[in-house]
Amino acid sequence: ILDGPLETWGQEFFYRGMDGWNTYDNVMLSCINQIENGVTSFVNHYYSPFDLLDSKGYGGDNESAVRACADSGGRVVFAPAFSNQNFCTYDDQTFLPTLPAEIKNWFKLRIPTDGDKVARTKQYLKKFKEIHIKFDGKDERVKIYLGPANVHWVSDDSWLEVKKTALGLKTGIHTHLVETRYQAQYGPKILGKSPVKHLADLGVLGPEVSCGHSVWLTREDMVTMAKTRAIAVHNPSSNLRLFNGIAPVLEMKEAGMNVAMGLDGTTINDEQDMFQEMRLCSLLHRLPGVEGRHLSSSEILDLNLSGGSKVALREDEIGAIEVGRKADIILVNTGRFTAPFVSQKLSVIDLLVLRAKGSDVDHVMINGDLVVRNKRFLRADKSKLLRRVSRWRERNSALDQNLAKLTAHIRSFYQKWDEGEPNYRMNFA
């Protein structure tokens, strides 16, 4: 799917059906791509193609996804995504009455009642607890988190239930937060405050909460997240590809926030290469001028190691090579990125961040087990997996025509809904 603003790109993503789709293969391939590139731990904020109220289909699909993560050998946080309102825009109450009936009926769009929201919440928590009992901690590499999708997609009562469940099960919460300018505007328009302040007032934020993107934080939001020790997860490529903007990571760090780094499945060249993501992060966060503030290579690597260990709630177990920690270790071949010559005065960390690629990773060990040896993934036949996935086919053309009509109405809605200027421009006027 071509890049586009999240608000319209998301419709393409969620409605696009595939014949021959296999969840296990899809998730396993994603895990392999990350592990081969040297990522040992990852969060899968998993959006099932099955409706939550399809109990058998949804439950079985999520179990297939967790099994793929576990079978890959990776250290995984699996967070099944949840939403119960605003399925089309961030204000369906206003938008859906303006949508032509034929489009509304084709996509089965309607405003959920309070009863609908409660039913979806009960079903989600029921299925979540089943998955949690079955998988969390059965293999020490696997943790199951709650995955509320975002402030505007989850009702307040449901946020409170999610927090209560997380505390009861001593597990984490992974969500997305102020990813786009429209999501930021949802706060004052609908809530009368920023989405971050809203979650803080509900008592949701805490050290067990990780917040993907966090692009449009205010300075007050940064203070709030620092105080609550919630974690922002920076996804540089995804934010650029989906027209989100550039997260103010320098300001986040100055405010004392916990910050980690993610790939969001939408990297600059779809290769899930964390080395290239670190390099993009380094290039984005350099203020102009001879005294321009920037993130050092050590700080960027720390977003991965220390930041990632906090997201996984394993701060004392992973993120460093020390006696007593888990043996999650990658060996990177420096031959390519030190040829033909680099000064010995340069630090290895600078070279890793500024020159390495995922293809330079030779070996990957996770939890003491060798998962990649001599660039070959040992736990599955990737070539067979790729052949199976290549046989998938897109479904009917009527979808394309109706999606074009739907997204045109969505664009028109946000043009009227939008307020203010973007927070940055190119240097020339």
Residue-level pLDDT at 229: 98
Which positions ≥6 away from 341 have C-beta within 8 Å? none
Q: Which two tokens stand for residue 317?
A: 């177990």
How buried is residue 416: exposed, middle or buried, by Cβ count under 10 Å (0-12/13-18/19+)?
exposed
- Confidence category of residue 390, pLDDT binned at 50, 70, 90: very high
Angstrom distances, CA of residue 367 to CA of 73, 79, 141, 371, 410: 9, 21, 8, 10, 46
pTM, whole model, 2 decimals? 0.96
| Interval 168-185 mean pLDDT | 97
- Confidence category of residue 429, pLDDT binned at 50, 70, 90: low
pLDDT in tens, 221-252: 999 999 999 999 999 999 999 999 999 999 99
Q: Which two tokens stand for residue 39?
A: 């990522």
Distance CA 11, CA 81 (A): 16
Residue-level pLDDT at 315: 96
- Decide if pLDDT at 424 tops 70: no
Distance CA 89, CA 109 (A): 11
E-only strand ranges, 178-290: 209-213, 231-234, 258-261
| Interval 264-286 mean pLDDT | 95
| Interval 397-408 mean pLDDT | 88
Mean pLDDT over all residues of the chain? 95
Residue-level pLDDT at 428: 61
pLDDT in tens, 132-146: 999 998 899 999 999
- Confidence category of residue 423, pLDDT binned at 50, 70, 90: low
- Confidence category of residue 375, pLDDT binned at 50, 70, 90: very high
Return the ∠ at Cα 416 (arms to 412 and 419), rounded to 5°: 135
Residue-level pLDDT at 303: 97
Residue-level pLDDT at 14: 84
> 124: helix, coil or strand?
helix
E-only strand ranges, 86-217: 142-144, 147-148, 173-177, 209-213
Distance CA 388, CA 392 (A): 8
Residue-level pLDDT at 418: 82
